[in-house]
Amino acid sequence: MNRVYIKTYGCQMNERDSEAVAEMLRVRGYSIVDSEHDADVVLLNTCAVRDQAEQKAIGKAGHLVRRKRENPNFRVGVMGCMAQNRGEELVDRLPDLDLLVGTQKFHRVPDLLDRVIATERALGPKPQTLVELEEESGSEETIKDHSQGERQISAFVSIMQGCNMHCSFCIVPKTRGPERYRSMDAICAEVESLVANGTKEVTLLGQIVNSYGMRQIPYRNGISPFVQLLERVNAIDGLERIRFTSPHPRGFQRDLVEAYGRLEKLMPYVHLPLQSGSDRILRQMRRPYTVRRFREIVHQLREVRPDICLSTDVIVGFPGETEDDFAQTRAVFDELAFDMAFIFRYSPRPGTKAADMPDDVPEGAKDVRNKELLEVLSRHSLARNASLVGTVQSVLVEGKARKGDGLYMGRNPGFRKVIFPAQERLVGQIVPVYVHEHSTTVVKGELVLAGDQAPAVAAMA
């Protein structure tokens, strides 16, 4: 009765937390399964950034506790941001939950699950939820375990937890707490261990990743702590590619821009959240930069790396957003020609400053604005992918494509998905692919074998 299924909602940070919990459970003797229907324990790792994500998780938890009533030996736990945000309210709503685990207690899950099982064996099933939501010093250093089974070609590495920014729309400071940083030595040791097991690419994770080490690690020759970390990771033998997410425009200083021109393993891809193209709305959002400053960062990045790919986040329908505010956002969004974007309709999050503002943009207007930005994005994404046709791209082969016999998938340096015929032995290798077809979201091509000549081939990028 030790089969565990973990379902994850939300961001890459949540994915990384779930992976670490799964490995800790595996080491403890639990079996991690791929389906909730095969599990004795289901853990939901939840998101609180948007109401829709919370409602999905609550609905799923409700479904699972009904299954528990039919099978008293079945166990259900809720972890992560929604657990931290809603706390005991969830226990009131779902009294049959076995576990409620906050964001600084992921490493306690094996012990807590052991306790639930031992208590039930001794006393029999009873409706009492084990709750662990308190802050814990040093918890930022505990998300370090990776699966020891299948090789990870690309891996997430958590470098910090928490956020100090307090944007008016964002619940993360409440759910994740203040910024806490892992040591550079611990981060590099984790990357070295991953590389020794076959990892070729790492993505460094943080709520505001470029805030790493601020006011704790001194600048060195004008180089910020985050760029110092990038330098150390860049020097690790055997590692091929470095990415990171998500930075904040406020901390995107010249040393980080210049790192794209001098660190050969740092890939030409940046996810840089804009949120709005209106300075007035940015102030309402408590985002400490202007549209002019955002443009400067983008132009500087493109000067240093002309091939750089950019993605962003935008919120439409923020309280008080007028048609003129949105027109400014649309204009900036179009001007900067993002390759990819996450576009969200604003929804109030209880406990944030924005929740006290009147949500005065009609849902119909939010839908229209969302659709307009998606149309702009589609046009620019299609154009970027069209520009890759006729070039040879350097592709890190990640595994089989979801559709198509004999087709494999990988990413080019700009994080574009590339589909092509290949063989299993190429997984984990960086190979040249001649691109001959494109759509809005992917490009397709053929391997360029030694001695082959692809027509009109550009330099491998």
Domain ranges within the chain, ordered by starting residue = 3-132, 139-386, 389-447
Q: What is the pLDDT of residue 275?
A: 98
- Two tokens, residue 189: 């040791």
Q: What is the pLDDT of residue 451?
A: 60
Q: Is the pLDDT at 460 greater than 60, yes or no? A: no
Dist. CA 304–CA 70, nearest whole Å: 61
Band (pLDDT 50/70/90 cuts) for residue 119 is: confident
Amino acid at 294: F
Q: Is the pLDDT at 117 greater than 50, yes or no? A: yes
User: Is the peptide bond between 246 and the residue preceding it cis, with omega within 30 degrees of 0?
Assistant: yes
Question: What residues does 393 pair with on adjacent strands?
Answer: 433
Same CATH fold, 389-447 and 3-132? no
Q: What is the pLDDT of residues 316-374, one digit of tens each?
A: 999 999 999 999 999 999 999 999 999 999 999 988 999 999 988 999 999 999 999 99
Please state at what angle helix 184-196 crosses helix 225-234, rounded to 10 degrees. Answer: 30
CATH code for the domain defined by 139-386: 3.80.30.20
Assigned CATH class of 389-447: mainly beta
* Section 161-168 average pLDDT: 95
Q: What is the pLDDT of residue 217?
A: 96
Band (pLDDT 50/70/90 cuts) for residue 457 is: very low
Q: What is the pLDDT of residues 392-444, one digit of tens each?
A: 999 999 999 999 899 999 999 999 999 999 999 999 999 999 999 999 999 99
Band (pLDDT 50/70/90 cuts) for residue 452 is: low
Q: What is the 3-state secondary structure (H, E, C) of 200-243?
A: CEEEEECCCHHHCCCCCCCCECCECHHHHHHHHHHCCCCCCEEE
Q: Is the pLDDT at 126 greater than 70, yes or no? A: no
Distance between alpha carbon 202 and the CA centroid of its chain, in Å? 12
Q: What is the pLDDT of residues 192-212, one digit of tens each?
A: 999 999 999 999 999 999 999
* Domain made up of 3-132: CATH architecture: 3-Layer(aba) Sandwich (3.40)
124, 99, 129: which is closest to 113 by C-alpha?
99
